[in-house]
Structure formats: structure tokens, C-alpha cells
Amino acid sequence: MQAGQLDQRVTFMRRERVPGKPAGRGDFIDLMKVACAFRPLSGRALAEAGSLTDAIEGSICVRDTARTRGLTVADRAVIDGRDMAIESVQPSDRSGWLWIKVSRRKASS
């Protein structure tokens, strides 16, 4: 991956800690905005995943930094106004890039 291929912006969001609420969790708030490359899965891969509504939609590639390494599956990603759940964060392979799998799954209420 080359830096010039990071042609989009992603906003990562995390739940706000609120004292007095169950588990201290409030609404999602912006955590950070970074440049990224979004790679959607092909239609065939989506069909093989089973349900088109819950399938992993694609991968986000961002620079591997201390902040992006701290992302978890409890966080959310927003690209072009599409709110997506983080399904997995690949462990760093020291390449300088971090790949994050995302889906259109909504958070449970």
C-alpha cells in the first residue's frame, strides 16, 4: 500500500464513558479522523458470507500508529456517511499498515 492510495477519510467512534449509566457507556463520540483506503468485498464474497445485510462489507487500510492499534471491535467506523461496525483488527505485521474488517451491522441496543 502506498500513501497516495489513502484517498478517503474515516472517522473512528467510541462509546463515551458516563458515570451512573450501566457499564458507564453512553453514545458514540468521535475518537479520531484518519486517511484510509476502503476496499469493498466483491459481490461473490458477500453472497458467500451468507446474509447480505450482516456480511463483512470490506476492509479499511490505515497507517499503523499507537492510536489506530488501540481500536477494538467495540468501536465504530464512518466512511462517506456509512456507519459500520468493526469486525476485526488484524495484528500489526510491522509493514506500517493496519487492516480493519468492517460490516454494516448495527450495534445491539
The residues with which 11 forms a beta bridge, in sequence order, are: 33, 78
Average pLDDT, the chain: 82
Alpha-carbon distance of 90 to 33, in angstroms, equals: 19
Take residue 71 and report the three cell numbers written for it.
481500536
**pTM summary value:** 0.78
**65: CB partners within 8 A, 6+ apart:** none
Q: List, for residues 34-86, the tens digit of each pLDDT value.
A: 999 998 876 665 566 555 555 568 899 999 999 999 999 999 999 988 899 99
Whether residue 10 contacts residue 62, with contact meaning beta carbons closer than 8 Å, is answered with: yes
Show me where the domains of the chain are located. 3-103
Residue 50 confidence (pLDDT): 59
- With 0-12 / 13-18 / 19 or more C-beta atoms within 10 angstroms meaning exposed / middle / buried, residue 49 is middle
Higher pLDDT pick, 35 / 92: 35
CATH number of 3-103: 2.40.10.270
Identify the sign of the CA torsion 43, 84, 86, 55.
Answer: negative
The per-residue pLDDT for 10 is 95
